[in-house]
Amino acid sequence: MTERIPYDELSYFHENAEEFGLPYDGPPVVHRTGVTLDDGRALSALVWGDEPAELVLLHGGAQNAHTWDTVAMALGRPLVAIDLPGHGHSDGGRQGSAGLEANADDIATVIATLAPGARGVVGMSLGGLTAITLADRHPDLVERLVLVDVTPGVDDQKASAVIAFINGPESFPNFDEILARTIEFNPTRTESSLRRGILHNALQREDGSWVWRYARHRNVELSGTDALPDRAQLWEAVGRLAMPTLLARGMRSGSVVSDEDEVELRRRLPSVEVEHFVEAGHSIQGDQPVELAAAIDRFVFAT
């Protein structure tokens, strides 16, 4: 008989708190909701707190809204963490998971519905590129912008480790195998955090096998639309940004931002602020979530 692993997505917050030394006096106020788009698709989001959202968080490729759990707990502010199209509990994108313009427009609908008064938008990796596009196309929804370890300088070589993981098997015969692959590509993370991440980011089928949530959309999206977006257009969009912008850059192995990228970002956007996270790689929200939360709080809510 196939062993079923129980999953309650709102039951793991005590683990996040314990791992990073955050005070914990009970589960935070969090609920999942969805926003239906004009074509009938729906995007899903985690809504933190019961006051109007002050922040919007966009995760990276092959991730989901739960990647922000520890950051959200450390911030202690009302916010919305959105599952990007083709990720988590959201439906697929109109132009694939990496169709930035279509996805930014969809995200704009979600923000206008769930967080119209947000003080800032935070985007990591693919979520950061989506946030740049969002800020360019819908600047009224982005008062301040935080990019987490990404610039338009990302390419196949810099993101090779991320791409290799995403392009791996879509499914695994059991939990041990999906865990082993995840550990292989995330050697600096604790096994408990990776177990938790898998439960948030994969589904167990009736036969006991596991499939990544994002992999479910591979066969229904338009061919060729999941390639990295046009870098030249994104750099041009950066040059048009008028809102205060912060780059949070991981400095350890695995970061996809180079010194040259940082220089180009400063050239295109002289007002940009840059903060280095010396103990973090690409996933700053996973490696140094408390420090990232402090940086977001200082930048977005500075008086």
CATH number of the CATH domain containing 230: 3.40.50.1820
Does residue 160 form part of some domain? no
pLDDT tops 90 at residue 25 = yes
| Residue 116 within a domain | yes
Categorize the per-residue pLDDT at 157 as very low, low, confident or very high, splitting at 50, 70 and 90: confident
The pLDDT value given to residue 221: 40
Mean pLDDT for the chain?
Answer: 93
44, 90, 97, 125: the catalytic one is 125
Classify each residue of 217-237 as buried b or exposed e, where b means 16 or more C-beta atoms within 10 Å of its C-beta. bbeebeeebbebbeeeebbeb
Q: What's the rounded mean pLDDT across residues 21-44?
A: 97
pLDDT tens digit string along 109-149? Answer: 999 999 999 999 999 999 999 999 999 999 999 999 999 99
Task: Report the pLDDT averaged over residues 227-231.
Answer: 69
CB 275 within 8 A of CB 283: no
| 91 catalytic per annotation | no
Q: Which of 83, 106, 136, 149 is catalytic?
A: 149
283 falls within a domain = yes
Number of domains in the chain: 1
Does residue 294 register a pLDDT over 90?
Answer: yes
Q: Between these two residues, 232 and 170, which has the higher pLDDT value?
A: 232
295 within some domain: yes
Q: Specify whether 209 is catalytic.
A: no
Burial category of 209 from C-beta neighbours within 10 Å (exposed 0-12, middle 13-18, buried 19 and up)? middle
* Active-site residue flag, 282: yes
Asked if residue 173 is part of any domain, the answer here is: no
- Residue 162, in any domain of the structure: no
For residue 240, is pLDDT > 70?
yes
Query: Is the pLDDT confidence value at 19 over 90?
Result: yes
Instruction: Report the C-alpha gap between 247 and 241 in whole angstroms.
Output: 13
Note down the domain range covering 53.
13-154+223-300
Element (H, E) at 121: strand 120-124
Confirm whether 1 is domain-assigned: no
The predicted structure's pLDDT at residue 70: 98
